[in-house]
Amino acid sequence: MTRPHYRSVCATLFAMVVVTSSVAVAAQRPNIVWIFSDDHACNAIGAYGGRLQSENLTPNIDSIARDGIIFDRAYVGNSICAPSRATLLTGKHSHLNGKFDNRGGFNHDQQQFQKILQKHGYQTAMIGKIHLNGAMQGFDYWEVLPGQGRYTNPQFVTAEGKTQYEGHSTDIVTDRALNWLDNGKDDAKPFMMMVHYKAPHRNWLPAPRIIEEFRKRTFPEPDSLFDDYSGRGVAAHKQDMSISKTMRMSGDLKVTPGSERAAWLEKHPLEGEELIRWKYQAYMQDYLGCVAGVDENIGRLLAWLKDNNLEQNTVVMYSSDQGFYLGEHGWFDKRFMYEESFRTPLVARWPGVIKPGQRNDDLVQNIDFADTFLDIAGAPIPDDMQGESLVPLLKGETPADWRKSLYYHYYEYPAVHSVRRHEGVSDRRYKLIRFYGIDVPDGEEWELFDLKNDPSEMHSIYEDPKQSARIKELKAELDRLKEHYEVPEDGGLPLRGTSSDEKKPNANARTLKFEFQQGANVKAESSPYLPGRGIQLTVPLTFNGTDGVLIAQGGASNGYALWTKDGFLHWTVTRNDVATTVSGKDKVPSGRLTVIVRQEKTGAATIALEGREVANGNVSGEFLTQPFDGLSVGEDAGSHVREFSTNKYAGKVGPVQILLIE
């Protein structure tokens, strides 16, 4: 595409604009409100149609589409949370911005669109979930959830430190955004505000006011709920993201002792397809309840703009970091290049520029967002950004050289949900996917789908001899895209488990024995390296009946904690924002004693008190990824593994000895 000339024109126009006063510039250049959710499927938005269209889940998002434009073919380049957000900020695919998967850090020093906006007269703010470790840059104001964040009574991080708020995270993100609009922004400048919700991310906990209504509702099932994957390869067969096997009754579906759902299941024991159908309904009630909460809060933002006479001069855009499976193929989660997770919602409203009621079916990708923000603001767009500005499409004009195909690459394997690494190319009708690396037959397996005749991607036609010419063309297009986007061989991230084993992100990766004193607050890079290992903790303590955290490593997305409440010991392990707890059956006596917790690589866990087993259970497998947060003794000093009634332990604990089990 011929973008350098277009960008130079934008820069010239901007230079002409900035000679006016700041107040005049604020009036001429629109404000931008970017609203972003986590794991919101297109199928859960009324404006997109589909089986849930009649459920009236998203009237406010639908109003943005009705008053503006809806993109029917918006996609991501890597369907997973943190990499998608890195692409949002940088306008680059994962191999260039360095954020391949949810593990490890992010280079905040690199070029990001908000830094450019700041330099060109915009005030910038970021509120909510960003899922990129480290201090934000390029924002005049930022207040973000640490890691995945918590649904209830969430903690927020700012440049000044941490603050906890009472309530539901969706409501509080909006509260904090409105607080900045009322009290923080400079009225003499245009602003760009990013409002990022945690919802509807797993484990799908709606606000209390919404739960009761949604648990009375029944939702239509997808046709592929009981998919047997007969038309696809090893990746679809070997994933670990199924409603039937992977979805947890307690952490995901809230079937806990004494709960309404547990009581119902006791009276109506289910198995087989009946149980899967029940789990699907419970999942939808909670997931869609979270969606309703997001939409309700978007209504609050839209109302503020109207009440403050900023509606006409503000671009409002809504999207999600990727799509999500709502039972299609029997799955939840994302990661695959299949449509439900590859495709993401995108709607926009820009009074006077976007003609109301538009639908666009051009191929759009999340690498385009950074370019678009800069173009809207009249700021220069760096040539090394890899996207295209959507401004012409917003105006109803598709450039003659608009892209005809999309590149995709997913890297996070082996890891949670066990989706094999893959890359692919998709045009307006066909999609070619190459699964590769360890645990793929012969190291490489291909799938080809005809999206016109098989929109649900149930049957790969790669082995059909009639497709040989098309396969050759698509492979050539895949190679062209990789050259265009400067993609190194296999994406630039070495395969784990091979001779080019990925570098461990931990200085103590090979260490098996540790000792930590009370008050220790160890950085993540120096904490015990957990993936693929079991763990045994020997914890001496003096117990005086008080509650608190004895030791913790990681946070709500991935980690563990040994803690006490009401005199009982609890061992909690979190994976992907889901907490599983094994609890002691006997109260801890007062005095000096020793607790030993052992968790095998299989997930089998025991708690022993003075040599006597007081608890056993299973936390569903090994640690798959290294926690972002470090280790602390006597409290959970980082983003909390779970919500504790009391975080800091008042008694004496330690020295704690940790043995990692290979």
In a domain, 158, yes or no: yes
From 86, 91, 189, select the one nearest 141 (Cα to Cα): 189
**Predicted local distance difference test score (pLDDT) of residue 468:** 98
Decide if pLDDT at 22 tops 70.
Answer: no
Run of H or E residues at 266: helix 260-267
Q: What CATH number corresponds to the domain at position 654? A: 2.60.120.200
- The C-alpha atoms of residue 586 and residue 568 are separated, in whole angstroms, by 7
* The total number of structural domains that make up the chain: 4
Q: Are 270 and 348 part of one and the same domain?
A: no
**CB-CB neighbours of 588 under 10 Å:** 20
**Strand ranges inside 74-171, DSSP E:** 74-75, 123-129, 141-145, 155-158, 161-164
- The per-residue pLDDT for range 145-169, each reduced to its tens digit, is 998 899 999 999 999 999 999 999 9
* Spatial strand order in the sheet of 568-575: 521-522, 631-633, 548-554, 558-565, 568-575, 578-583
Q: Are 243 and 216 part of one and the same domain?
A: yes
**404 in the Ramachandran plot: left (φ > 0), alpha (ψ -120 to 50) or beta?**
alpha
CB 645 within 8 A of CB 547: yes
Query: How remote is the C-alpha of 439 from its chain's centroid?
Result: 25
Q: Are 226 and 190 part of one and the same domain?
A: no
Average pLDDT rounded to a whole number, residues 528-557 = 89
Average pLDDT rounded to a whole number, residues 355-382 = 98
Decide if pLDDT at 4 tops 60.
Answer: no
CB 641 within 8 A of CB 554: yes
- The per-residue pLDDT for range 466-483, each reduced to its tens digit, is 999 999 999 999 999 999
In a domain, 227, yes or no: yes
Cis peptide before 488 (omega within 30 of 0): no
Residue 468, φ and ψ in degrees, nearest 5: -60, -45
Measured CA to CA in angstroms, residue 454 lies from 20, 435, 448, 449 at distances of 55, 20, 11, 7
Q: Are 544 and 469 part of one and the same domain?
A: no
Helices (H) and strands (E) counted in the chain, each on its own, are 15, 28
CB 323 within 8 A of CB 203: no
In a domain, 371, yes or no: yes
CB 75 within 8 A of CB 343: yes
In a domain, 253, yes or no: yes
Average pLDDT rounded to a whole number, residues 333-353 = 98
- The C-alpha atoms of residue 136 and residue 343 are separated, in whole angstroms, by 27
User: Is the model more confident about 641 or about 208?
Assistant: 208
Straight-line distance from the first to the last Cα atom of the chain, in angstroms, rounded to the nearest whole number: 52
Bridge partners for 619 per DSSP: none
Q: Are 90 and 168 part of one and the same domain?
A: yes
Residue that is written with structure tokens 């265009």 in the block: 484
Residue that is written with structure tokens 């016109």 in the block: 452
Task: Categorize the per-residue pLDDT at 7 as very low, low, confident or very high, splitting at 50, 70 and 90.
Answer: low
- The per-residue pLDDT for range 236-272, each reduced to its tens digit, is 999 999 999 999 998 899 999 999 999 999 999 999 9
In a domain, 177, yes or no: yes
Decide if pLDDT at 188 tops 60.
Answer: yes
Domain end: 397, 429, 448, which one? 397
Q: Are 152 and 13 part of one and the same domain?
A: yes
- The C-alpha atoms of residue 374 and residue 598 are separated, in whole angstroms, by 53
Q: What CATH number corresponds to the domain at position 416? A: 3.30.1120
- The C-alpha atoms of residue 606 and residue 349 are separated, in whole angstroms, by 55
**Strand ranges inside 471-599, DSSP E:** 513-516, 521-522, 534-543, 548-554, 558-565, 568-575, 578-583, 591-599
**Predicted local distance difference test score (pLDDT) of residue 641:** 84
Q: Are 347 and 454 part of one and the same domain?
A: no
Average pLDDT rounded to a whole number, residues 271-280 = 98
**Predicted local distance difference test score (pLDDT) of residue 554:** 86
User: Is the model more confident about 622 or about 462?
Assistant: 462
Average pLDDT rounded to a whole number, residues 300-304 = 98
User: Is the model more confident about 645 or about 350?
Assistant: 350
Average pLDDT rounded to a whole number, residues 520-524 = 87
User: Is the model more confident about 19 or about 380?
Assistant: 380
Q: Are 155 and 223 part of one and the same domain?
A: no
Domain end: 227, 261, 278, which one? 278
From 403, 434, 413, select the one nearest 497 (Cα to Cα): 413
- The amino acid at 611: G
Decide if pLDDT at 130 tops 70.
Answer: yes
Query: How remote is the C-alpha of 325 from its chain's centroid?
Result: 13
With H, G, I as helix, E, B as strand and everything else as coil, classify residue 396: coil
Task: Categorize the per-residue pLDDT at 506 as very low, low, confident or very high, splitting at 50, 70 and 90.
Answer: low
In a domain, 501, yes or no: no
Q: Are 551 and 609 part of one and the same domain?
A: yes
Interaxial angle between packed helices 81-90 and 368-377, expressed in degrees from 0 to 180 and rounded to the nearest 10: 30
Q: Are 575 and 530 part of one and the same domain?
A: yes
* Measured torsion, CA atoms of residues 496, 497, 500, 501, in degrees rounded to the nearest 10: 60
From 404, 303, 324, select the one nearest 361 (Cα to Cα): 404
- The C-alpha atoms of residue 496 and residue 217 are separated, in whole angstroms, by 44
- The per-residue pLDDT for range 581-602, each reduced to its tens digit, is 999 999 999 999 999 999 998 8
- The per-residue pLDDT for range 399-449, each reduced to its tens digit, is 999 999 999 999 999 888 999 999 999 999 999 999 999 999 999 999 999
Average pLDDT rounded to a whole number, residues 353-358 = 97
Least confident segment among 34-48, 98-112, 431-445? 98-112
**Predicted local distance difference test score (pLDDT) of residue 201:** 97
The token pair that represents 442 in the structure block? 């012969």
Decide if pLDDT at 574 tops 90.
Answer: no
Q: Are 185 and 259 part of one and the same domain?
A: no
User: Is the model more confident about 330 or about 628?
Assistant: 330
133, with CB counted inside 10 A (0-12, 13-18, 19+), is: middle
**Predicted local distance difference test score (pLDDT) of residue 456:** 98
Q: Are 370 and 228 part of one and the same domain?
A: no
SS (H, E, C) 343-370: ECCEEEECCCCCCCCEEECCCEECCHHH
In a domain, 405, yes or no: no
Decide if pLDDT at 503 tops 80.
Answer: no
Domain of residue 595 covers 513-661
Decide if pLDDT at 500 tops 60.
Answer: no
In a domain, 288, yes or no: no
CB 324 within 8 A of CB 345: no
Least confident segment among 14-23, 221-230, 620-629? 14-23
Q: What is the mean pLDDT of the chain?
A: 91
Domain end: 397, 423, 445, which one? 397
| Helix boundaries (H) for 324-432 | 339-342, 368-377, 391-394
Cis peptide before 200 (omega within 30 of 0): yes
- The amino acid at 477: E
Average pLDDT rounded to a whole number, residues 602-630 = 84
The token pair that represents 323 in the structure block? 């799509």
**pTM (predicted TM-score):** 0.80
Average pLDDT rounded to a whole number, residues 547-559 = 87
Q: What is the DSSP letter of 115?
A: H
**Predicted local distance difference test score (pLDDT) of residue 501:** 39
Task: Categorize the per-residue pLDDT at 496 as very low, low, confident or very high, splitting at 50, 70 and 90.
Answer: low
